[in-house]
């Protein structure tokens, strides 16, 4: 299995990162994509990318936009492209739009910049979208995001928007919410996503599966998410694990995952 989204670089993992990775291996996880959330953290990902399981993406998260310092705000397209290349980033992101966060115009400007870099480098983008599905497809079309493609991380757009993002070149990743007893919208969506566009993630340290609600999420919980996706699709969990691993390997192809 490949965990297509876990913020393993955050302070929440500082005290036991090695143990987290050991538990992930024991659970059958063979790869973890770690998306950076702001420029000040990009350089530190170099050490993480030298470990066996993690691979990285670099970007600017929309929820971080109001707290960016002047140096971070001054990052140019060329600087992002150079950093992504030198760090062997598999993708650009986490980027996107967040309707619950201030400064929507700056969020949009930074998203557009990151899409342009992704197209330049032929890397996919990792997209966060919360309460902004009314605006996001237009931006993706205008910036020709289909030329790089990407993944809708912890997809929240519902089943009706799946064909729209599919036609824009995007895959769909599902996290802990598919395990929640009252889940409706994510399960409706997971049932209609084509097999070849399906991914899974833990989004650690957030969105822990239902058996761990209120605790830190981590890659070792990925089998619980796989099981919930399989149940929703009336499929064998082993097949979902294999399918999502294959899809992650295909999408994030700029740098090899560890062999099985």
Average predicted confidence (pLDDT) for the chain: 95
167-211 per-position pLDDT tens digit: 999 999 999 999 999 889 999 999 999 999 999 999 999 999 999
Express each pLDDT in 146-170 by its tens digit. 999 999 999 999 999 999 999 999 9
Please report whether residue 17 resides in a domain: yes
Q: What is the pTM of this model?
A: 0.96
Contact 37, 94 (CB under 8 A): yes
Spatial distance between the Cα atoms of 224 and 48, rounded to a whole number of angstroms: 25
In the prediction, which pLDDT does 201 show?
98
Give me the mean pLDDT over the 103-116 stretch.
Answer: 98
Confidence of residue 260 (pLDDT cuts 50, 70, 90): low
Q: For residues 16 and 24, give the distance between their C-alpha atoms in angstroms, rounded to a whole number.
A: 12
Question: Residue 34 domain-assigned?
Answer: yes
Buried b (16+ CB within 10 A) or exposed e, 75-110: beeeebbebbeebebbbbbbbbbbeebeeeeebbeb
Q: What is the pLDDT confidence band of residue 216, given thresholds at 50, 70 and 90? A: very high
Asked whether residue 121 is domain-assigned, the answer is: yes
The tens digit of pLDDT for each residue in 65-100 reads: 999 999 999 999 999 999 999 999 999 999 999 999
CATH no. for residue 222?
3.20.20.140
Residue 194 forms part of a structural domain: yes
259 domain residue, yes or no: no
In the predicted model, is pLDDT for residue 31 greater than 60? yes
Domain that residue 107 falls in: 2-251
**Residue 254 pLDDT exceeds 50:** no
The 10s digit of each residue's pLDDT in 217-245 is: 999 999 999 999 999 999 999 999 999 99
Domain count, the chain: 1
Distance (Å, rounded) from C-alpha 202 to C-alpha 222?
6
3-state secondary structure of 55: strand
Let me know how many helices (H) and strands (E) the chain has, helices first.
10, 8
């Amino acid at each position: 299995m490949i965990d297509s989204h876990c913020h393993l670089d955050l302070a929440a993992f500082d005290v036991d990162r090695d143990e987290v990775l050991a538990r992930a291996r024991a659970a059958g996880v063979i790869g973890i994509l770690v998306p950076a959330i702001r420029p000040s953290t990009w350089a530190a990902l170099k050490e993480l990318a030298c470990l066996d399981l993690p691979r990285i993406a670099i970007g600017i998260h929309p929820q971080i936009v109001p707290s960016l310092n002047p140096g971070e705000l001054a990052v140019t397209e060329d600087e992002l492209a150079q950093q992504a290349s030198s760090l062997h980033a598999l993708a650009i992101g986490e980027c996107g739009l967040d309707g619950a966060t201030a400064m929507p115009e700056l969020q949009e400007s930074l998203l557009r910049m990151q899409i342009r870099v992704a197209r330049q480098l032929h890397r996919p983008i990792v997209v966060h979208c919360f309460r902004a599905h009314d605006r996001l497809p237009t931006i993706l079309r205008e910036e020709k995001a289909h030329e790089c493609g990407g993944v809708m991380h912890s997809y929240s757009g519902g089943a009706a928007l799946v064909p729209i993002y599919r036609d824009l070149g995007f895959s769909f990743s599902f996290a802990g919410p598919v395990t929640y007893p009252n889940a409706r919208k994510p399960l409706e969506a997971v049932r209609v996503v084509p097999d070849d566009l399906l991914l899974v993630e833990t989004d650690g340290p957030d969105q822990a599966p239902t058996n761990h609600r209120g605790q830190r999420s981590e890659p070792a919980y990925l089998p619980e998410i796989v099981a919930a996706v399989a149940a929703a699709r009336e499929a064998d969990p082993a097949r979902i694990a294999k399918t999502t691993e294959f899809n992650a390997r295909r999408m994030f192809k700029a740098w090899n995952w560890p062999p099985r």
